[in-house]
Amino acid sequence: AQSVTQLDSHVSVSEGTPVLLRCNYSSSYSPSLFWYVQHPNKGLQLLLKYTSAATLVKGINGFEAEFKKSETSFHLTKPSAHMSDAAEYFCVVSDRVAGNMLTFGGGTRLMVKP
Amino acid sequence: KAGVTQTPRYLIKTRGQQVTLSCSPISGHRSVSWYQQTPGQGLQFLFEYFSETQRNKGNFPGRFSGRQFSNSRSEMNVSTLELGDSALYLCASSLLSGLDGYTFGSGTRLTVV
């Protein structure tokens, strides 16, 4: 069975400082991994995805994530936080064994202080 | 290119009633999935449809059902509503499968009173 653990439920950073949102996954098959962002009262927007190509994945709005199989991790980073980055972030896994179903982590709420 | 469209955006229903939510996927997308989002349980998978066939189903009671039409539009129905069904219901579409990533709609906020 696949599962996702987001290690921090809340992260607070100052504007202009780096962002690190941590994610560990479990999958019985070669997984696809995603990061989604959700702004208040909005749907989910895909930030980036890993689908067994390059392990360092670049996404929108300056975000990137590195797939580390040995550590079963897929942490999300951004060099410099912007106020508009304040939102909830979800790490998501999908694999063929689970029938392509998406399994979501519990979410990390990112707060950006001015 | 239009995104995933969900209607209505907001709904208020009474316990015991039934409700139907609608989702129009991105043009050309054949896979449509539904998710329930609540503060307590987070995001949970309901079901997935591909070419009018239910391909996968989550762990929800039979009161939750869905279908997909030949134009890939999808509906989900919840019968005999309970207070605990209050949630944001999200629809997502993909070209072929979840392995490629889904595009989500803005959701339907259902409140059961």
Lowest mean pLDDT among B5-14, B43-52, B61-70, B91-100: B91-100
* pLDDT at residue B19, as a whole number: 98
Cross-chain Cβ contact B35/A46 below 8 Å: no
Question: pLDDT, tens digit, for every residue of B4-31?
Answer: 999 999 999 999 999 999 999 999 999 9
* pLDDT at residue B66, as a whole number: 97
Residue type, A46: L
A96 and B CB contact within 8 Å = yes
B107 and A CB contact within 8 Å = yes
Question: pLDDT, tens digit, for every residue of B77-89?
Answer: 999 999 999 999 9
In the predicted structure, residue B1 carries a pLDDT above the cut 70:
no
Average pLDDT over residues B87-104: 87
Strand pairing partners for A3? A26
Question: pLDDT, tens digit, for every residue of A15-42?
Answer: 999 999 999 999 877 788 999 999 987 8
A103 and B CB contact within 8 Å = yes
Residues 53-82 of A with CB under 8 A from B: none
User: A76 and A13 in contact (C-beta within 8 Å)?
Assistant: no
Lowest mean pLDDT among A3-7, A53-57, A59-63, A89-93: A53-57
* pLDDT at residue A92, as a whole number: 94
* pLDDT at residue B24, as a whole number: 97
Cross-chain Cβ contact A46/B43 below 8 Å: no
Share of chain B above pLDDT 90, in %: 87
* Pair type for strands B108-112 and B10-13: parallel
* pLDDT at residue A18, as a whole number: 98
Chains A, B: CB contacts within 8 A come to: 60
Residues of B in contact with A100 (CB under 8 A): 31, 48, 55-56, 97-99
Share of chain A above pLDDT 70, in %: 98
* B38, HSE (Cβ side, Cα atoms, 13 Å): 14
| DSSP letters for B38-81 | ETTTEEEEEEEEETTEEEEE-S--TTEEEEE-TTS-EEEEE-S-
Q: State how far the Cα of A29 lies from the Cα of B92, in Å rounded to an integer.
A: 23
Average pLDDT over residues A79-91: 97
Residue of B33, B43, B46, B111 for testing the chain A interface, max A β-carbons within 10 Å:
B43
A42 and B CB contact within 8 Å = yes
Residues of B in contact with A102 (CB under 8 A): 33, 35, 45, 92, 98, 102
Of A102, A106, A107, the CB nearest to B102: A102
B45 and A CB contact within 8 Å = yes
In the predicted structure, residue A74 carries a pLDDT above the cut 90:
yes
Give me the sign of the Cα torsion angle A44, B66, B40, A25: negative
In the predicted structure, residue A43 carries a pLDDT above the cut 80:
yes
